Amino acid sequence: MSNPDATQAPIEVPVPATVPPNGTIATSNSVAESESPSPGLEKPDNGTPKKVVVKGKKRRKVMKDLTAPRQPLTGYVRFLNDRREHIRAENPNMPFAEVTKALAAEWSVLPQEQKQQYLTAAEQDRERYLQELAAYKQSEAYRIFSEQQQTGKKLKEEGDDSFQGPENNDMNGYDIPIFTEDFLDHNKSREAELRQLRKSNTDYEQQNATIQTYISGLHTAIEKYTIETQQQRNNNNALKQHLTNLRITFANVLSPINVPNLEKPTQETIDTYMTKLLAFVKENPQSPVTASVRKAVADLDLQA
């Protein structure tokens, strides 16, 4: 019988290369399996595992026809485009998400008559799009684009049948359309367009200010000329009345004088009468009729 107090030699247990999960004990089979390379690892000559990067399926770009009509905007999107810059100007440090939330809250309490303006514009834009789309589908550009699209679809199907690459399932939850290259390009073009629109808006505001100053000057000049025109009109009326009074006065004074070969003057004929009377006076300066005419004219009270 062996002595229980005797020190026994330690039993060596093979330790697996990798520790199994959840605290389970690896058997000899698991040890053997752990020594074999995993599917995602390559074992080079020096025995050190080398990680192999597994690439996911690359997203294919969607074909787009640049000649196709522009998609219509909804009333809400029109409201966002109309109010976004105003909100940013008032709150330059507000994040984009907060700006969108503020605009959504503003839209929810917007009166119906103001909403209707955007909705009506959206409906008109939709009708415009349908008309342009119907005309576009009859065009040669649409036929060529459809043929290219069908060809691309066939090539895609043939490529999928000939090669099935490993799928990267880890990123499926993050496959969001807003992170696509097309969306980023669209955002860049929109930002460039907005910068150009802001610059144009500033130029137009300066032009409007100049035009407003010019218009104000025109209004002042028009008011001045209107007053002067009215004054001249009043002067003309006074002169016409004075001329009428002179005709009446001369007709009354000269009608009692009998001038040879001349009829008695009236208000209507006094102008012609005065021309003929002047000729008579020049031809007959010593005539008694001429003396009577001179005396009558000298006695006229033209101030009355």
**b/e burial code for range 149-181 (CB count within 10 A of at least 16 → b):** eeeeeeeeeeeeeeeeeeeeeeeeeeeeeeeee
Per-residue pLDDT, 61: 61
Task: Show the tokens assigned to 137.
Answer: 């589908």
Alpha carbons 181 and 25: distance in angstroms, whole number: 48
Coil, helix or strand at residue 36 = coil
| Residue 142: band (very low, low, confident or very high) from pLDDT cuts 50, 70, 90 | confident
What is the reported pLDDT for 62?
59
Q: What pLDDT score does 298 carry?
A: 84
55 SS3 class: coil
Confidence of residue 237 (pLDDT cuts 50, 70, 90): very high
Contact 300, 251 (CB under 8 A): no
**Per residue in 194-231, pLDDT tens?**
988 998 898 888 888 889 888 989 999 999 999 999 99
CATH of domain 63-165: 1.10.30.10
44-73: average pLDDT: 62
> Is residue 41 classed as helix, strand or coil in its secondary structure?
strand
Pair 280, 290: CB distance under 8 Å:
yes
Give the position of tokens 């006076």: 281
Model pLDDT for residues 17-27, shown as the tens digit of each residue: 444 444 444 44
Q: What is the mean pLDDT of the chain?
A: 75
- Cα–Cα distances (Å) from 246 to 22, 212, 267, in that order, read 130, 51, 9
- Has residue 291 got a pLDDT over 80? yes
Largest CA distance in the chain: 194
Q: Which tokens in the block code for residue 136?
A: 């576009």
- Mean pLDDT, to the nearest integer, of 79-90? 88
| Average pLDDT of the segment spanning 166-182 | 52
* CATH 1.10.30.10 residue window(s) in the chain: 63-165
Whether 104 has a pLDDT exceeding 80, the answer reads yes
Question: Identity (one letter) of the amino acid at 218?
Answer: L
Section 102-107 average pLDDT: 89
Mean pLDDT for the stretch of residues 46-64: 54
Look up residue 104 and give its two tokens: 């959504």
Residue 190, pLDDT > 80, answer yes
pTM here is 0.33
Helices 288-298 and 270-283: crossing angle in degrees, nearest 10, is: 130
User: CA 285, CA 4: separation in Å to the nearest integer?
Assistant: 183
